[in-house]
Amino acid sequence: MALLLAVLILLIALGTVAMFLLRHWMPAVASGSALAFDHQFHVSLWWMGGAFLLSQLLLALIVWRFRNGKRLRRGAVAIPFLELGAMVAATALYLWMGATGGMFASTSAPAESASALHIEVTGVQFAWYFRYAGADGKFGSIRPELIDASVGNPLGLDRRDPAARDDVVSSQLVIPANRPVELTLHSQDVVHSFYIPQMRTQMNAVPGMTTHLLLNVSRIGTIEVDCTQLCGLGHYRMKAVVRVLSPQDFAAWKNTEFAHAAAKAE
């Protein structure tokens, strides 16, 4: 029975490791910072995987070695030293991962730039809205009492404010490739979380607070945005997309949207 249990422990451990090695679990990468994140993640996973295999091997060895009660009493003296060594090794490993992960987090975000594109992101049950400053480069005023998605004003823009008349509100985040983008996040109701899996980047949108997120996407295409906070019954459908365009296509899109906003304001 002891031999069967030891073999079963080893098979489960090897099967678990094989499940992770036989496929790539991470989404496709859309930015350079995501590559650095993946490297850090895989290094940590290899260390943790090695520790997992070693602990399961020791467990199977102990099950087999001390299957007899007398042997267990004779070898019991060595068990506390094994436990102490495992705890010291685990502590050192976690401290190392915390230190390297902290250094990575502090250096992975792109630095602020004067050429950064500023976009406001607002989370509301159950949608994301993205606001661009108009041709004047200024964000207009918002009044909560004017919020009404049914009349096309989900953010409560005060159209009496000249700076708000040409603001563009979109249900898609459209950005140019290879240009810093600074997102300013807000929430109208509950805590939402703006998560872009292909960029490995995430930031909460909190009612009454302003949070920021810096992006710099290099790959042209469409990327999914998810909300990773349980924000209500419609949480499952709180999604959006990031459309990454070439600088020329983004300029054309921006000019078209600004023209539409100016026409609506007249």
- For residue range 175-221, list pLDDT tens digits in order: 999 888 999 999 999 999 999 988 888 899 999 999 998 888 888 99
Residue 244 gets the label, from left (phi > 0), alpha (psi -120 to 50) or beta, of beta
Rg (CA), the chain: 26
* CA-to-CA dists, residue 155 to 23, 126, 168, angstroms: 43, 13, 11
Q: Is the pLDDT of residue 121 over 90?
A: yes
Residue 200 is predicted with a pLDDT of: 83
Residue 241 is predicted with a pLDDT of: 93
Residue 71 is predicted with a pLDDT of: 56
- 160 HSE (CA, 13 A, CB side): 2
Question: Picking from 1-10, 75-84, 189-198, which range would have the lowest pLDDT averaged per residue?
Answer: 75-84
**Residues of the chain above pLDDT 70, percent:** 85
Residue 108 is predicted with a pLDDT of: 47
Q: How confident is the model at residue 76 (pLDDT cuts 50, 70, 90)?
A: low
Closest CA to 131 of 115, 154, 106: 154
Q: Are strands 117-124 and 181-187 parallel, antiparallel or unpaired?
A: parallel
Q: Give the residue-averaged pLDDT of 230-237.
A: 91
Q: Is the pLDDT of residue 164 over 90?
A: no
Closest CA to 109 of 227, 205, 200, 228: 200
Dihedral angle over CA of 142, 145, 148, 153, nearest 10? -20
Of 78 and 254, more confident: 254
Of 143 and 69, more confident: 143
Residue 207 is predicted with a pLDDT of: 93
Q: Give the residue-averaged pLDDT of 107-130.
A: 79
Of 256 and 258, more confident: 256
Q: How confident is the model at residue 160 (pLDDT cuts 50, 70, 90)?
A: confident
